[in-house]
Structure 1
Amino acid sequence: MSQPIQNRVQGVFIPVSDIEAARDWYCKLLNLPNDGEIHFGHIYVLPMQNGADIVLDSKIYAPDHVFKVPSMQLRTDHIERAYQYAKESGIDILTDIQNNQWFNIKDPDGNVLMICQ
């Protein structure tokens, strides 16, 4: 019998308090259209390239479920441009660019994300 559980991450769940506001924020951050379906009234899937999708879920939200450390890295080929974009967009930036490689931001619910080159 072959292994039934694959060595592949399909999605990463992020707890959010307001599914529509979170959808709009993440779609703007990632330059994605925000016209996808909200499933079951509380789930929105952000289709990512070459990897796991981001699954926003308002049903699992509670203040103590918020990620205080990065739950994922979002890729950039231009760390300085990404930092400037975050700054100009009013995104809550938690760190300056570190080692010319990465910085951390916070979504409106307080989930920490890493932007990494």
Structure 2
Amino acid sequence: MNLCLGVRNINSILNQIGTIFIPVSNIEKARKWYCDLLGLAAAGEILYGHLYIVPMNGMGIVLDSKIYSEENIFKTPVFHFNSNNIEEAYEYIKGRKVELTTEIMHNHWFNFKDPDGNHLMVCKC
């Protein structure tokens, strides 16, 4: 019996999300943009010429220029960044001249785009 989080696992697929791959057109520019956005040093190497693992707490983000095409960009957010102050987060994004796609909704979340047009979300935790 294989135990994961105290629940019997009936197969080898765990009920965990390891990482999200984000399609980006230019890996160097995307690394800088995401690291600047998250207040991280743009350190770490670009792997195989097209992958960058963003240092995250919790679920991971991998920027990948090999999978980029206009058809592959996220048209709706597939995850959200947590925030403990949604108003400050909104003003921070707005001040960075990032394209906002919503206002703060229900005092809980808002959406914006990265430079490649991927839709992203910030949500109050």
- TM score, norm. by length of structure 1: 0.95
How many residues are aligned here?
Answer: 116
The answer for the alignment partner of 2:93 in structure 1 is: 86
Task: Work out the CA distance in 2 between the residues paired with 1:92 and 1:48.
Answer: 23
Letter in 2 for 1:68: K
The answer for the alignment partner of 2:109 in structure 1 is: 102
The answer for the alignment partner of 1:20 in structure 2 is: 28
Unmatched runs of 5 consecutive residues or more in structure 2: 3-10
Q: Secondary structure at the match of 1:83?
A: helix
Unmatched runs of 5 consecutive residues or more in structure 1: none
- TM score, norm. by length of structure 2: 0.89
Q: Secondary structure at the match of 2:110?
A: strand
Whichever of the two has the greater Rg, that structure is: 2
The answer for the alignment partner of 2:56 in structure 1 is: 48
The Cα of 1:32 is off from its aligned counterpart by 1.0
1:42-74: CA deviations, max 9, x gaps?
A: 00001211x211000000000000001001110
Task: Work out the CA distance in 2 between the residues paired with 1:94 and 1:29.
Answer: 17
1:69-103: CA deviations, max 9, x gaps?
A: 00111000000000000011111111100000000
Whose RCO is larger (CA < 8 A, sep 6+)? 1
Percent sequence identity over aligned pairs: 51
The two structures, once aligned, show a CA RMSD in angstroms of 1.0
